[in-house]
Structure 1
Amino acid sequence: MMVSRNISILATVGVFILAVGVWCEEDQTTEPWRKLPKLYDYDDFDDCRRANPEYEYCVVKAHLEENTKSALWRQISRYSADPRHYRRDVLELGICVDRCNAIIDRPPENDTRTNRASSCSTERVWLNYALNSTSHVSNCVSAETADFPPVGLPEILFGALFGILLALVISTTIIDVKYLTGKDALLVKAFSLSTNLSKLGALSSRSRQDLLFLDGARVVTMMVILLCHATIPMIRFPLKNPEILEQQFVSWWFPIALAGNTYTVQIFFIIGGVVLAVNFMDHIKAHAKFNLSYLWSKIINRLIRILPVYAIVIFFQASWYQRMSDGPIAYRYKDYCRDNWWTNMLFVNNYINPNEPCAQFTWYLGADFQLFLAGSTIMMVIWKFPKITQSIIYTMIAFAFVVPAVIIYVYNLDATVLVLSRYIANEIRELGYYINIYVTFESNAGNYFFGMIMGLVYHKLVESGKKIESSQSFKAMFFLAAFFFVAMNAMTVMLPREQLEEPYLLTAVFGSLLKSSWGILFTFLLLFLSFRPECLFASFLQHPIMLVAAKISYCVYVVQYTVIYLIYRNVTTPLMHNAFNMIFFTSVVLFITLLTGLLLHVCVEVPFMTLFKELLEPKLPHPISTVSKKRADCQSTDKTMEHQIIR
């Protein structure tokens, strides 16, 4: 009865929000965009290149000049005033310079490629719309620039590294499969493809069987994030029908969907906090005596797991990625690994040059490593001073709510990411919310702390033998967390359409509560699943397929940026935004990303983990050596839970 009543209440809230959204939605019966200039007007690049081996092609931004006497200008001005619309007073033209002679009366005085393209753009705008404009050349490609400069040192070094890895994998696999001499050598055990594939399919036992569902939770979250990332570049791509996106942006439901896209990554932080706390508490139970060297060993083990794959992908980004593009649109997806690779290797890329990132999606690796260090330090304090555990928990909860609100208020930020087309057309990473809230350690620490608190509660309940299934107070809190989550996300439909000029305390508080609602709900959900591993959802999450997929998900996350942007950097013509293209590009991204992630796992991640484990494990500090074999095995299997799937 209670469950039915709770569902009825949540359904009522949902219907109310639906009614409010429909009431707030603008009248979309008219289509004013049909009378406006084309936002993207591109000559066919492939035809231009085919017609003239010495082709020249430029992308030009035409800024329309104000003309209040023009009815078309007044329509453009009204339409562009809505921040959810693209600016129709700035047109983007793709100019095949060879065709400019047909519309230019006389060549410009300084007859360079860019000047000719600018003149051509100005003339075309006037002929089509009777409006004056000023032009700015964004990018030019030609037969000369199509030939990249000679291969440099970074490309040579990466090629050599790739060749060495390939030779190792092939030779060790042959030795292993053919049972040749040297089969038991360390390199063979590390790089043999057959051995590593068998490890991938092996379902090793764990001491915490009731937490196996966390692997499946990571996989599901990873797939949702990958699907979102696969379509994000389409927003910035030259489209033949950009009005389709604008219609989505002004829809009442879009802020709710955008909140889901923005905060899904918080699930990773929550899981990371849970695993950290549970592993630490298991270690503290086995080793009552405090030992600082344990923190050092955890840091080393984590770096061994994440650095080799990460370094190779960043190395590729800084070398060959820069050369793998085609056409005039590739410049939109510029990467800065050539200059800023070191920020990734030091895990500070979410703070240093965040608006010029190297592999943009890897900001999460920096934030997660920083949270790992902070969380590990907190757990070391709890180990050393167990009596202040409750005070630490209260401090973490206060931090989770107060810090994001303060940042939003001080920097006068939006409560969450708002879809403002004028910014999306450039770079979303230029938004103040992205730089100060989305990627920073302090603003994401709250949900990581919620995960840690859940881990502490879980461990205490397990050790005391208590269950939560029959706890009425837990059911009530779980329902309140779900209600709070639905209400906070639904209220995003009532947020202002654009950034407020002055900071408002209510906006800051709402932004903090919205972000925390994700941590609170999923903390309760994970705690519930940990005591109900036999339920249908938990069974799905811990299916053997999920457990195998979880092993490659880190590599999938790290390489996804490279795959996604390489695909879009090689599309040479504007696209139609429709279901077919969305499905096609998403399918291609998924297939290549998953395949590349699998290869990275068996050819880089597992081999280097095996090597470093054999070479460094004897040298790593062991806090207490008199531990039973059974306890050591439990600790070893628990370490695999820390292999986080990262956004």
Structure 2
Amino acid sequence: MALSAVALTRVILVLNFLVANISGRIANAPGKHLATNTGSGRYRSPFADDYELMPALFHYENVTECFEKYPTSAYCVVKTVLKPEESSDVWRAIAQYSKNPSYHEHSLLDRGLCVDRCVRLLDGLSSSVKATLETEPITVKPYHLLSIPSETGLPKYRTQYGRILNICVNHRLKQRYNLSGHSELERCVTAATQHPSIDAYHVLFLSLIATLCGLVGYASYLEWRHTPPPPSPSLDNNNETSATTKANHARRSTTTTTNALWMEFALQRSWSQLVTPPRTKLQRDFAFVEIFRMLSVFIILAIHVSMAYVAAPTANMRPLEEFYGLPLSLIAVSVFPFQVHTFFTISGVMLAVHFLEFASSRATRVGWSFLWKGVVMRYVRIFPVLFVVWLYQVSWLDWFARGPGDYRYFALERDNCRTNGWLNFLFLNNYFKASSMCMQQSWHLAADFQFFLAGLPLLILINRHPRLLWPMVTSASIFSIAAPIVNLYHHKLPGVILANFKQLRFIFYVHPVLTNDYMLSHPHTCSYFSGLFAGLAYHRYRTTSIPWLSGDTTSSRLLKWLPPAMVLLQAAASPLFYALDYSEPMLWNAVYGAVHRCCWGAMCAVGILYGAKVWQGRHSWIHFHPALQLLSRLSFGVFMVQFNVLKSLTQNASGNGTGFSWKIFFEAVLYTWIVCYGVALLLALMVELPAAAIFKRLLGARKSSQTDKTEQQCALKKE
């Protein structure tokens, strides 16, 4: 089965963790091959020592102690670029490690300094010593200041403290490492400005939460009071459109209050929507997809936990650097980013099968008026949760983040959302202002919405003009291959995703691969269109088996196993791409990248089609389990809140940063899973599902026929 390759790629991460833990040290780590001259003509074996020679990537003086001892002082964070010193053992270790892609740029340091303490230090130095500690600007790539745009006082602080802090950092570097560098201010705060102040955004968020809690509580109470126990164990579903169910509900109701719009906030209605088992044949056929949706979310969260520690001030970065330097890790890195593309494929399949089911139930062809209705209903399904999360980002996100380096994750995000949040509501944030994006995790929402804007008109056109089916399929296939080739060639990007800790240091705000390729929709249409084509095939053979998939022929075996085999073979070659020079475009590299991502889309589409037509009935008790349905239906909320939970893992760190070990990692993964799903459950019960039911009623959705149910499912399907 084609989806077995997806499971196989997930095993790679587990194998890597086992290798990293059992081996105790990594044979390919650069430190194992770097010998240091002791000055006596002999060379000592460095092992762990040469890594420990290097300065810590992050070091923050205690900000609380600074303001207690120097109340009028400023506290500043600087980025320091070290000056090359070939005769230094420390510098040679820095240069050797930093040239590896899975290692940070160890010549780039973050330092948090109490300004008045530095002033006192400089007062004890002679003018000649100060002159030797002053340095000219030094460049390193990549380099980016994570300054807060709204903090307009930074230029003044640079003028006041730039020279002082540069000398202060160099004095400490000279004393301990016999190195020097150039420091540039990234942020400065005082005792009065270190903590955020409450404004209208904070009040609005609290008011909204209080209103939602009141509505949910009162509606749930009235639902319990006015609704006798139903004859069946299932509760009334606020999004259910069955005429029978609604008629039963009307008979049970003792007052018209239960028909009010705000009664959709009743927990009983929302909960039943989350755990309702599949009922129609269409839902049962694709119930197995929920397993892969849930597992994909689990894997993505685990990967993002490791990325959170890589990007944050972390004291013990070496285990992560070594782990991602393993050959298996380099292979996995080229595949794991496509996990999100699995959701795009699922989205395309679901749109196609629901639309075609709706179209086949009509006596006439679907009109173009359905396009605007589908777009509006899809938008209002996503908007409420997006708005609530955005409002939290611009208000209370950074309230409890008091660490000197936490602005990189919290204050900067708040500022970006206040400035560029409007792009998120237009679903254009993946194309514009990527270097100051609000809610980076929401790029996939924008891409998926853009895919929907292309997929729904295509399906309507095919329905109205069936002869255009194969021309449209051919055109979409050609575009899906040509677009990534042109894009990769034009931007001189690698054909596969490469591990890059140096860009992650800047939280991917300026990563050319993300801004020019990965987050854009047009170079990644293959996964979505593959899903659409799979949906078309499912509808074509919905009452019979698919001859070219279910048979034991050469063509069926090729269709099932060629795409995953190609994905794994191409991923296996990914370590070779680290040695290439991308200063000039390479056509073969662009073609390789296009085929690689299209094979992933084909693998997922064939696997979903195989599962729906052949495999889905073998383990139905798992597919239909309420717990699985619940976890899968919370995926949207999990994606929206995951970065907030991840950022909390490393907040309030001082000194060299937060600690890290593999034990801490697994504890953090478990914590992230629990908190993400807990918050997503609250969002679903209080915002997502009630708002969906209310908007359907406001938009005049008729709830008396199964036909209209199919239409709404088609328009509202979000993944």
Interval containing the TM-score (normalised by the shorter chain): 0.7 to 0.9
Q: Does 1:636 align with 2:705?
A: no
Q: Does 1:315 align with 2:398?
A: no
* Aligned match of 1:580: 663
2:606 to 524, 545, 552: 524
Change (3 A) 1:614 1:641: closer
Report the TM-score when normalising by structure 2: 0.79
- Bigger drift between 326-335 and 527-536 goes to 527-536
Change (3 A) 1:534 1:129: closer
- Bigger drift between 633-642 and 468-477 goes to 633-642
* Aligned match of 1:123: 171
Aligned AA (1:636): K
- Give the Cα–Cα distance (whole angstroms) in 1 for the partners of residues 333 and 546 of structure 2: 39
* Aligned match of 2:563: 481
* Aligned match of 1:138: 186
Change (3 A) 1:220 1:278: same
Cα shift readout 1:416-451 (whole Å, capped 9, x = no counterpart):
332233322223241221112111110121110011
Change (3 A) 1:77 1:152: same
Q: CA deviation at 1:353?
A: 0.8
- Give the Cα–Cα distance (whole angstroms) in 1 for the partners of residues 659 and 683 of structure 2: 33
Aligned AA (1:428): F
Contact 1:218 1:645 (8 Å CA) reproduced: no
- Give the Cα–Cα distance (whole angstroms) in 1 for the partners of residues 486 and 290 of structure 2: 34
Cα shift readout 1:178-232 (whole Å, capped 9, x = no counterpart):
3496641414531122332233333251241211222333222222222222332
> Kindly, what percent of the aligned residue pairs are identical?
25
Q: Does 1:438 align with 2:512?
A: no
Q: Does 1:173 align with 2:220?
A: yes
- Give the Cα–Cα distance (whole angstroms) in 2 for the partners of residues 28 and 640 of structure 1: 56
Q: Does 1:449 align with 2:449?
A: no
1:289 to 365, 369, 382: 365
* Aligned match of 1:21: none
Cα shift readout 1:508-562 (whole Å, capped 9, x = no counterpart):
1111111112111111111111112455567544433222222222122222223
Change (3 A) 1:556 1:250: closer
Aligned AA (2:559): M
Contact 2:73 2:190 (8 Å CA) reproduced: yes
Q: CA deviation at 1:291?
A: 1.3
- Give the Cα–Cα distance (whole angstroms) in 2 for the partners of residues 295 and 550 of structure 1: 27
1:202 to 270, 276, 285: 276
- Give the Cα–Cα distance (whole angstroms) in 1 for the partners of residues 261 and 366 of structure 2: 37
Contact 2:73 2:116 (8 Å CA) reproduced: yes
Aligned AA (2:186): S
Q: CA deviation at 1:477?
A: 1.8
Contact 1:154 1:319 (8 Å CA) reproduced: yes
Cα shift readout 1:314-345 (whole Å, capped 9, x = no counterpart):
12212332544211111221211100111011
Contact 2:60 2:112 (8 Å CA) reproduced: yes
Q: CA deviation at 1:286?
A: 1.9
> Equivalences for 1:550-565 in 2 at 5 Å?
550-565=632-647
Q: Does 1:191 align with 2:265?
A: yes
Contact 1:418 1:497 (8 Å CA) reproduced: no
* Aligned match of 1:228: 303
- Give the Cα–Cα distance (whole angstroms) in 2 for the partners of residues 115 and 147 of structure 1: 26
Considering only aligned residues, what root-mean-square deviation do their CA atoms show, in Å?
3.2
- Give the Cα–Cα distance (whole angstroms) in 2 for the partners of residues 170 and 239 of structure 1: 42
- Give the Cα–Cα distance (whole angstroms) in 2 for the partners of residues 49 and 303 of structure 1: 48
Change (3 A) 1:49 1:582: farther
- Bigger drift between 67-76 and 488-497 goes to 67-76
Contact 1:324 1:566 (8 Å CA) reproduced: no
- Give the Cα–Cα distance (whole angstroms) in 2 for the partners of residues 198 and 538 of structure 1: 20
Contact 2:58 2:109 (8 Å CA) reproduced: yes
Contact 1:63 1:135 (8 Å CA) reproduced: yes
* Aligned match of 1:617: 700
Q: CA deviation at 1:25?
A: 5.5
1:602 to 685, 689, 696: 685
Aligned AA (1:36): M
- Bigger drift between 335-344 and 218-227 goes to 218-227
Change (3 A) 1:419 1:443: same
- Give the Cα–Cα distance (whole angstroms) in 1 for the partners of residues 564 and 427 of structure 2: 34
Contact 1:68 1:74 (8 Å CA) reproduced: yes
Contact 1:213 1:539 (8 Å CA) reproduced: no
* Aligned match of 2:378: 302
Q: CA deviation at 1:395?
A: 1.6
- Bigger drift between 87-96 and 403-412 goes to 87-96
Q: Does 1:359 align with 2:435?
A: no
Q: CA deviation at 1:249?
A: 3.4
* Aligned match of 1:342: 422
- Give the Cα–Cα distance (whole angstroms) in 1 for the partners of residues 715 and 370 of structure 2: 15
Contact 2:306 2:320 (8 Å CA) reproduced: no
Contact 1:43 1:95 (8 Å CA) reproduced: yes
Change (3 A) 1:127 1:465: closer
Q: Does 1:64 align with 2:82?
A: yes
Contact 1:550 1:645 (8 Å CA) reproduced: no
Q: CA deviation at 1:97?
A: 4.4
Contact 1:100 1:116 (8 Å CA) reproduced: yes
- Bigger drift between 217-226 and 42-51 goes to 42-51
2:313 to 223, 227, 238: 238
Unaligned runs of 5+ in 2: 17-26, 34-46, 131-156, 227-253
1:39 to 36, 54, 57: 57
Change (3 A) 1:604 1:133: same
Contact 1:175 1:188 (8 Å CA) reproduced: no
Report the TM-score when normalising by structure 1: 0.87
- Give the Cα–Cα distance (whole angstroms) in 1 for the partners of residues 661 and 64 of structure 2: 22
Q: CA deviation at 1:120?
A: 2.3
- Bigger drift between 583-592 and 400-409 goes to 583-592
Unaligned runs of 5+ in 1: 19-23, 623-628
1:275 to 347, 350, 367: 350
Contact 1:484 1:517 (8 Å CA) reproduced: yes
Change (3 A) 1:497 1:54: farther
Aligned AA (1:527): L
- Bigger drift between 405-414 and 491-500 goes to 491-500
Aligned AA (1:403): A
Q: CA deviation at 1:158?
A: 2.5
* Aligned match of 1:625: none
* Aligned match of 2:676: 593
SS state of the match for residue 413, structure 1?
Answer: coil
- Give the Cα–Cα distance (whole angstroms) in 2 for the partners of residues 101 and 289 of structure 1: 78
Contact 2:481 2:598 (8 Å CA) reproduced: yes
- Give the Cα–Cα distance (whole angstroms) in 2 for the partners of residues 330 and 483 of structure 1: 43
Q: CA deviation at 1:413?
A: 0.9
SS state of the match for residue 264, structure 1?
Answer: helix
- Bigger drift between 483-492 and 171-180 goes to 171-180
Aligned AA (1:408): L
Change (3 A) 1:392 1:138: same
SS state of the match for residue 135, structure 1?
Answer: strand
Q: CA deviation at 1:607?
A: 1.3
- Give the Cα–Cα distance (whole angstroms) in 2 for the partners of residues 226 and 320 of structure 1: 23
SS state of the match for residue 438, structure 2?
Answer: coil
Q: Does 1:469 align with 2:563?
A: no
Q: Does 1:414 align with 2:501?
A: no
Change (3 A) 1:607 1:76: closer
Aligned AA (1:426): F
SS state of the match for residue 316, structure 2?
Answer: coil
Contact 1:241 1:577 (8 Å CA) reproduced: yes
- Give the Cα–Cα distance (whole angstroms) in 2 for the partners of residues 464 and 608 of structure 1: 39
